[in-house]
Every structure is written in structure tokens, then in C-alpha cells.
Chains A and B, each alone.
Chain A
């Protein structure tokens, strides 16, 4: 990044200024369009229903209707859905980090028969759209008696060919010297993996955690398929199936949707550098 900086020295300050002014106009305009729905959502969540339905629109509600947020808890099982969302995200992230790091490390550094074939089998599932697996996955979860449970939502997503590939690429990029030294000191392969390689893999793991968190928190189709009760749904499915009186109670709906996306949105804005790096890393490997 800093090396690119030198490329602009040919421009006079005035020239640079005018050109950047144009960039600021374009970036500002598109940036506004990007963020406007969020701002509008926030404003509507603090308005009354009459203000939301007024023409011309009420741009500022005057008196802020904070009680809309409190009403969410009485109209939808928000807390249990939040609990489900957190549980499935944590379990899926943990499961993927453990399994993908282990398998990714083995494929990157260990020798064993049929390695290429097994890797090819695992990666082959990436080429098939998820819907193709969906009905049999549903039947497996049903037969295990896991419909409407956290585990039912989590289980298939713990296994990730993408994660295995990502971690394999990451481990392949690490130097071999440390590992060899540890092995010569008599550490067994698990100790080498656990004590030496895993700490070095932190940037790769953080990319995996970020992507899995996004997918798990935001996913709709699978949770919709394996849950039928509002209480056992995560927030994504809960919001999509809001019915009855709530669906015309616009302000409460806006408050609910803000609360549903806020945890991950705020977390990722705070960690934006790391998130952008993680997403870029996963996309370029």
C-alpha cells in the first residue's frame, strides 16, 4: 500500500486535488446510497406507525419512540431467537475451526495414502450448489430427531470444504523450519500441530471465523427448512416468517430487524480492517 503512494508523485498538488474531488463526489454519492437504507431503518424504528405511513415521508419523528424496541420482546420470541443465533454461530465456528485446521494441516504437511483422492473428494462438494444436498440433509437431521434443535441447524455446516481448502492454503504458506525443529525435539505430530503450527495460523483462522460467522448468522434457507417453531428459529428465519399483527406493525418490524443484524454488523465495523483482510484473503486463495 505504502509503495503505491510513490506512484502519485508525478501529479502536482492542484491536479491531485481536483481529481480527488471528483472521486469524493462519486464515493460520497454511492456511499450515501449504500448506507441510506440503514439510516432509514433506524429512523423508522423510532417513529410511530402513522409517521412511517405518511406521505410525504416523515424524515424526523420528533419524539423518538424507543418503546418500539421494547415492544419487539412482547411480540416475537426475540430472546430465544437471539440465543439460537448465537448458539449456532458459536458452535459452527468452533466446529469448523477445529475440523478445518486439522484436516487442512494434514493435507498441507502430512503424508498418507490416498491423500490426493481424499482431498479431491472433499473439494468436489464445492462445485455443487447447496440445494442439491438439502433434501437428504433434511432427512438425515429428521431421522436423528434433531428438527427444531440447535444441533440440527449446526451439524451439516460444521463440515466445510471451503474451510479445509482455506486452511490448507494457509498452512502451505508457512515455513517448515519450526515444525522440523519441533519434530527433531521429539514432539509428536499432534503436539507440533497444536503448539507450533496452530498459533502461527491465527490470521488464517481469523479469516475462517469471520466468514463462518457471516454465513451462520445470516443464513436463511437451511434454518427455515429444519425449524418450524418460532422459538427454535434463529433471527434470520424468525424475521422472514414474521406473521399476523406484527407484519403490519412496521415500526416494531424495523426495530426487530435492527436488533437482529446489530451484533454482527457492529462487531464487524469495529473490526473492519481485519474483516476486510479476512474476506480478501479467502477470496484470493
Chain B
């Protein structure tokens, strides 16, 4: 093969631009430009009739002193932590449902991934009924054991936990799917060798499955945290905007939405958006730093 025809064969001319420019333009207009726009906006104040005035760091100063934002940060962290409790459960379930020759495996898989693919606002409505303090089935069930359940979605403190449980329920299937894919990459010889040594299933799970699954576990954790910090749909749809406990149960994105589109306080909302960016950035950076300590790449 001579060099000359290969070179002419590889000259793609203007074709690549035809392929790339539509996406590049869209990304610049709808993402990159808005990114800088929001950054700028966070230093301005929106007047009652529109129009922005430069206010320097005033929005950020307000942000730091805003109790609601602090509370929203705590709520968001609590929600994310509850969702993360689902990760160990997902590991266990994934390893069980992928057992060789297990019967009904497909059936179980469908049950697990249904909550993940179902529309959050639609399942929120049924959870609202389940959580209902007067006639909800959850409190009826608790009463069987002599426990008087609270008004789950209208009691501050309980509400974010209630939403967190739904979040965990809804994202468990995602974890199981990703972890199942990871399980298929574990060489079967590892298990054979362990069995020859007389290792029990629990020992195999602890010393083969979990360590070799750590890259997938890491991925599921990262995604769960990023999604958890962006809690909005479930909170909005389970609690409803006129819920008396909403004030104490807001998430960061909920406050952002309210400030930007209900109170029309876009400058302040932009500062909250930058805070969300910062928090997710720090948490993700920290997780990537910590991964050396526990993630094994084969």
C-alpha cells in the first residue's frame, strides 16, 4: 500500500463539518452560552419589569445567610444518603438474580426495573396515597404492629425521608442493571477456584464478587449522587406545592425553580444554580479522589 492514495483517501474535506456543525451550534447556543449567561446573571438582580442590574456578590452574600438554602442543602444530602442506602441492596440483589440457572430470573428483573422506567410524577401520585396520614395503606400496616404512623408527606422531617424512600425504590433497578453488567465481566474461573478451596457462597460474595464489582459500584454511586443532588420531580409531585411542610422540605433544585420561575427572582436563582454546580462538583471530585482507596480495576 503506497502512501499517496491513502492520503487522498483520508482527506475528508468539508464532510466532517457537515456532520459536526449542527451539534456544535446547538451545544454552543443552548448549553455553552447559557452557562456563561447564568454565571453573569448570578451577579445581577432582576427588576420587577425585567432588566438586569449588576449587584456584584450580593446574591451570593444573601445565599450564604439564607436559612432556606441551608435547610435545602441538608434535605438534599439526606435524600441522597437514603438513595445511596439502596446501593448495597442492589449489589446483593444483582448477585442473586444473576445466579447461574436461577428460575424466574427474567421475571425478577422486570419487577426490579419497573419503578426505574415508570414516570416519576405518575408513581408519585400513588405514593402520595400510600403515605396518606388518614387512610394510607402504610399507616394501616404500621398500626397492625401498634405503631401510629405520622402524616408522612406533611410533617417536616418525615417528608424528605418519605420522598427518599421513593427515590431509593425508583433507582434500585438502575443499580441492578449496571451491576449485573459488571457481574458478567467477572471470570468464572475465580469462582471455580474458590469452590475447590471450599469457600462458601458468602465468602465468594465478599472476596470475589464485591471487590471485582467495585468499578461498577463506583459508577452507580457517582450517578446516584449526581441524580440525588438534583432532586425535583419526586419532591414536587409527592408533596405538591401547597403542602404546609414544603417550606422545611425543599431541595436545592426546588428552591431554584421557585426563585427562577415562580418568584421571578432570576439573579438569585442563577446564584443557587451555581451553588448546585459547585456542590455536585466538589462531591464528585471527592469521590474520584477516594476511588483509589476502594475501587479495583482489573
Contact = CB atoms under 8 A, between A and B. Distances in A.
Interface in A232-285: 235-237, 239-240, 247, 250, 253-254, 257-258, 260-261, 264-265, 268-269, 272-273, 275-276, 279-281, 283-284
B229 A129 contact: yes
A135 B110 contact: no
A106 B119 contact: no
A57 B138 CA distance: 10
Interface stretch (B152-160, B187-195, B289-297): B187-195
Given A37-B127, A132-B38, A283-B177, A52 B135 contact: yes
B9 A136 contact: no
Nearest to A5: B100
Nearest to A247: B240
B174 A279 contact: yes
Interface in B1-59: 9-10, 12-13, 15-20, 22-24, 26-35, 37-38, 41
B129 A125 contact: no
Contacts of B135: 52-55, 57
B169 A27 contact: no
Interface residues of B, number: 107
A229 interface: no
The 8 A-B pairs of least Cβ separation, nearest first, read: A136-B34, A159-B26, A10-B195, A106-B19, A280-B181, A257-B122, A112-B16, A31-B111
A276 to B, nearest CB: 6
B81 interface: no
Contact of A221 (B22, B130, B233): B233
Contact of A103 (B23, B34, B201, B280): B23
Nearest to A26: B96
Given A35-B114, A129-B226, A280-B177, A254 B22 contact: no
B87 interface: no
A209 interface: no
Interface size class, chain A: 35 or more
Interface in B125-174: 125-127, 129-130, 134-135, 137, 140, 169, 172-174
Contacts of B85: none
Nearest to B93: A30
Interface in B75-93: 89, 92-93
Contacts of B229: 129
Interface in A100-146: 100, 102-103, 105-107, 110-112, 115, 118, 121-122, 124-125, 127-140
A60 B42 CA distance: 54
A14 interface: no
30 contacts: A8-B101, A31-B108, A31-B111, A31-B112, A40-B137, A44-B126, A44-B129, A56-B140, A57-B140, A106-B20, A118-B24, A122-B23, A129-B226, A129-B277, A135-B266, A136-B37, A159-B23, A221-B233, A225-B261, A240-B233, A257-B121, A257-B122, A257-B125, A258-B122, A269-B110, A269-B114, A276-B109, A279-B174, A280-B181, A284-B219
Contact of A110 (B9, B16, B117, B172): B16
Contacts of A8: 99-101, 191
A239 B125 contact: yes
B247 interface: no
Interface stretch (A64-72, A181-189, A199-207): A181-189
A7 B100 contact: yes
B123 interface: yes
A272 B137 contact: no
Contact of A34 (B9, B169, B191): B169
B298 interface: no
Contacts of B114: 34-35, 38, 265, 269
B92 A26 contact: yes
Given A54-B135, A133-B30, A159-B27, A280 B178 contact: yes
A240 B239 CA distance: 10
Interface in B225-281: 226, 229-230, 232-233, 236-237, 240, 253, 256-257, 260-261, 266, 269-270, 272-274, 276-277, 280-281
A261 B31 contact: no
Given A128-B35, A129-B276, A280-B181, A155 B9 contact: no
A4 B104 CA distance: 17
Contacts of A125: 27, 31-32, 35
Given A44-B129, A240-B237, A261-B122, A7 B192 contact: yes
Interface in A1-46: 1, 3-8, 10-11, 16, 19-20, 23-24, 26-28, 30-35, 37-38, 40-41, 44
Contacts of B61: none
A192 to B, nearest CB: 10
Given A27-B108, A220-B233, A135 B174 contact: no
